[in-house]
A and B are shown apart, each in its own frame.
Chain A
Amino acid sequence: MMEPTAYLLLSGILFGIGVVGVVARKNVLIILMSVEIMLNGVNVAFIAVGSHLGDPTGSIFAFMVMTVAAAEAAVGLAILIAIFRLKETIDITELSVLKW
């Protein structure tokens, strides 16, 4: 089996692309999808190192990350629907009621 270095590099690239999506986009839906990409990048690192060490703990952690991602998507999208009903927009720069 390959050394995990290449997988760790891929994991970093996926995480970085997710960061770009979160900081550079205005559409809330695309920001939430970018967060999913970031979580997937982390999972790649967990799985690569877990299988390298021959330890199922890597898979367990990735499993927990997936659970949190599913919960986050459900709650985040519910918040998005509630906000859209109120303000009729999905532009993150217009959603600034909590901004001081």
Chain B
Amino acid sequence: MELILFILFGAIAVGGAIMVVTRRHPMASALYLILTLFAVAALFALRQAHFLAAIQVIVYAGAVVVLFIFVIMLVNVPENKLPMERVTGMRLLGVVAAGLLILESAVLARKFAMPAGSTADAGSVQAVGRALFTDYLLAFEITSVLLLSAVIGAIALAKKKI
């Protein structure tokens, strides 16, 4: 059962990702990005990481992509002034290099050997929350500083006059 769902959602995620990088208009890319993010959230739920699945939908599909769509509408480049995509030798080499990267990760993934753990609910809200507020409390607090600096940076950059 898990295998069937994995193949289904994995295919949706990969197909959506391919559509994101091949569409000409960024708005189409953003909508396909939402599809990919939902499929990845489903894969998280399949791995019993329910907390991360919920966060994925709320933060990514709900906030980050909306931000992208806002900016796409804000800059609103007309269809005929979108950058012309041409195939050059350098780009082709980049695509080939990315293909080799996938091949390499496939070889490494086949050699994956780690003993399975005992606890089944490692991704539940309870387990993640407990780890987040005990072992990783410092990292969690520093995250708030990161978000604060991102907010200040975004305002400072996007404002016309400071």
- Seen from chain A, the residues whose Cβ lies within 8 Å of a Cβ on chain B are 1-21, 23-27, 29-30, 32-34, 36-37, 40, 43-44, 47-60, 62-64, 66-75, 77-82, 84-85, 89-93
Contacts and interface: CB of A to CB of B under 8 A. Distances in A.
A37 B69 CA distance: 16
A15 B118 CA distance: 29
A66 B59 contact: yes
Given A24-B91, A68-B146, A77 B68 contact: yes
A20 B17 CA distance: 10
A16 B6 contact: no
22 contacts: A3-B112, A16-B105, A20-B98, A23-B95, A23-B98, A25-B21, A27-B85, A47-B43, A47-B123, A50-B123, A51-B48, A51-B122, A53-B114, A55-B122, A56-B122, A62-B49, A67-B147, A70-B147, A74-B154, A78-B157, A81-B75, A84-B75
Nearest to A53: B117
A90 B51 CA distance: 36
A66 B157 contact: no
Interface in B108-161: 108-110, 112, 114, 116-120, 122-123, 127-128, 130-132, 136, 139, 143, 146-147, 149-151, 153-155, 157-158, 160
A1 B150 CA distance: 38
B109 A79 contact: no
Interface of B: 2-3, 6, 10, 13-14, 17-18, 20-21, 23, 26, 29-30, 33, 36-37, 40, 43-44, 47-49, 51-52, 55-56, 59-60, 63-64, 67-68, 71-72, 74-75, 77, 82-85, 91, 94-95, 97-99, 101-102, 104-106, 108-110, 112, 114, 116-120, 122-123, 127-128, 130-132, 136, 139, 143, 146-147, 149-151, 153-155, 157-158, 160
